[in-house]
Amino acid sequence: MKPDPAEQFELLRRRYAAQIGERVAAIIASWHHLEQSQWEKAAGIETRQLAHKLAGSAAMFGFADLGAIAREIDIGLKEWLEHDQPLTEATRHYLTQQIAQLQRLAAEGKVTAILPPIATEPAPTPSAAMPAETPAPPLTPPQPVATSMPSNPAPRPTLPVVRDQNGRPHTIILVEDDQEFGNNLSQQLHLFNYDVHLIADLEGLPTLVRALNPAAIIMDVVFPNGDLAGTEAIAAIQRERTAPVPVIFLSQRDDFTARLAAVRSGGHAYFAKPVDAGRLIEALDRLTGAEENTPLRVLIVDDDPDFGQRCVHSLEAAGMYARAITDPRETLDQLQSFQPDLIILDMYMPICSGKELASVIRQQDRYVGMPIVFLSAETNRSQQQSALLLGADDFLAKPISPEDLVAAIAARAGRARYVQRFLIRDSLTGLLNHQAVESELAREFARAERLQQPLSIAIIDIDHFKRVNDTYGHVVGDQVLRSFARLLQQRLRKSDLIGRHGGEEFLVALPNTSVIEARTLIDTIRNSFAALRHYGTSGMFSVTFSAGIAGYPQHRSQIGAMQAADAALYQAKRAGRNRVVIDTTSNESTASPIVAVAEPSSPPQPHWRALIISANGIQRRSMRQALAEQGVTYQLVNDVERALAYDAPIRPNLIFVDMTQIEGTRIPNLILLREHFAPARIVTIAPTAAEPRAAATTAFGADDYLLIPPAAGTLPALLDRLSASERSML
């Protein structure tokens, strides 16, 4: 499990406290050197940099008085250094007093003993308020620490939480007395990975709602009980609940009375029958929180490592992903690999200033719109304004509280992401647009080449789409495109690349996936899309697509792979459409095109024997239930060490491992598992909120990842992908 943020902060404060004596000693030594050098500017710059760094970080770790002294030294030296005038006797005397106060604190040992012991209470549940943080007592009064620390820390305000995912399961209750309509709609919803419970009457609905706590209810209005029986039943259910359940009404009635009754009962949406499945899915996604909402990503560049880590913990406690670096020369590489939504820069760093680094970043067109926020102890308004003129978007003054930091960064990064979405996303489908998807594909291709991993590219084209527009109109055609985009997002991983390449053509890139595996996956989606029913003015209809697949390492350039996939697509079109074709120049494939209406028989599925490596009770229960439903045998161990000592007559060929045991400093565990259980498949398991981190483990040797608890259809889809990979190696 992820360490509690408050406990991490306490450990960080403790480490900072242990080092603060050295920081003070460095300032004092530098001051003495400045005096001995007869006030040389170079010595003054060194002293100011040390004081500036301490002024910016001390208050965030609870050393407010110490930070205030350092700030006075910083400001006094700044006036002298920037105006090129002799240091006045009064200023020199004042600075000498501040240095003496620092020296006195260091001699008394007060700077290393102000932190309370780390709390030993159990970490709170995610729904609980964040643990309290005790404000540091003043440093100046010479009192014993034991008498200045309260026995019970006062609670601090809870940080605003930026949530990235709604935690509810995607279980839907469908109440429909028209059995044929209900069955058809259930099948349509299942294609989009919704787990549907269909009932035909109202009698058992309250009990079922209490038992399942569904993500939403889809309800007819008219039942034999009455013309508004559906709305009356929902009103009774909503009165029982502390939090209302999202409700979508479907009905033959399209009058004001029925719609008003739906609103008064607690309904959230209303569709008149016949309803288009695509529009219904959009409403469900909106109401159940299934729309993509990934955490904000923030890069911090500050030469003070403790201050950088403090910012990281504050931002991550609020649900963001943050990364801190101390060397400005790493910034461009981090921008490409981490892809932040916002950058935080310090103004003064040894290698280059924050203003210089901002100018370097703005030199590149791709980062012109990247928000840059300065977080510095600089108080001079002209200096702050010059930083803004060089391309910064905001200026925050150190010291800053965690609450203010989170609020400022979340607001700025959130707006930037919202604007960026319009620049890189297709307005109709929400997928990456042509330029953005090809730009991202270039990065994926370079990554595949660097890591020597396969990359498959699929170009997909909706069959006879002009005929759809001509027959049913462009509004219906647009809905078909949105439904297909939604299906791709549901069936593919977030680490996969999906874009609208133009018109009715889509581009998909599948990292660490061979063309054989890609063919199986894309053909599964083809079957699902062909089964999806769309509603037009002339009735219900279905649509198919054709796809061409090529990839790396069969093609060593992005252009070559794209041209090969495009040629394979046209081969699929000429062969009759509604099929998936692999590039004929691919060394992996000698298979004939896959035809949707006459699929060749598949080789037998592998018999999976799973080993679950996790000490997390929720993960273990979810995996046991999910594997049992798929008929997969399994064993459980708590950690990698026990897994490596695991001995069984028949070795497992499928390893599910908790992400926290193989990420960060524990990446070598993944290598050990790969070597010990070869040729077993390794799948990372992680909570939904940690999907980007789970996806990153595939770059270090994991074959795939699974989010816990598994959404409907995700585990079977995963096993299908792994099975296809197994067959490709036979």
Residues carrying an active site annotation = 504
β pairing state of 505-511 and 455-462: antiparallel
Q: DSSP letters of 151-214?
A: SSPPPPPPPPP---S--S--EEEEE-S-HHHHHHHHHHHHHTT-EEEEESSSTTHHHHHHHH--
CA distance 714 to 704: 12
User: What type of residue sits at position 240?
Assistant: E
Q: Is the peptide bond before 399 cis (omega within 30 degrees of 0)?
A: yes
Q: Nearest to residue 484, comparing CAs of 440, 438, 530?
A: 530
Q: What is the separation of C-alpha 271 from the centre of its chain, rounded to a whole number of angstroms?
A: 33
How far, in Å, are 209, 316, 364, 571 from residue 324 at the CA level?
Answer: 46, 12, 21, 49
β pairing state of 497-502 and 505-511: antiparallel
Task: Provide long-range contacts, Cβ within 8 A and 24+ apart, for 567-575.
Answer: 568/459, 569/459, 569/460, 569/461, 572/546, 572/547, 572/548, 573/461, 573/463, 573/546
CA angle 5, 8, 12 (to 5 degrees): 135
Would you give the DSSP letter of residue 473? -
CA distance 581 to 565: 9
Q: Nearest to residue 367, comparing CAs of 439, 308, 453, 445?
A: 439
CA distance 182 to 664: 48
Contact assessment for residue 412 and residue 394, using Cβ atoms and an 8 Å cutoff: yes
Contact assessment for residue 112 and residue 20, using Cβ atoms and an 8 Å cutoff: yes
Q: DSSP letters of 103-162?
A: HHHHHHTGGGS-PPPPP-SPPPPTTSPPPP-PPPPPSSS---HHHHS-SSPPPPPPPPP-
Contact assessment for residue 106 and residue 25, using Cβ atoms and an 8 Å cutoff: yes
Q: Nearest to residue 346, comparing CAs of 411, 405, 398, 409?
A: 398
Would you give the DSSP letter of residue 226? B
Please name the residues in contact with 144: beta carbons below 8 A apart, sequence gap of 6 or more: none
Q: DSSP letters of 259-318?
A: HHHHHHHT--EEEESS--HHHHHHHHHHHHT-S--PPPEEEEE-S-HHHHHHHHHHHHHT
CA distance 564 to 583: 6
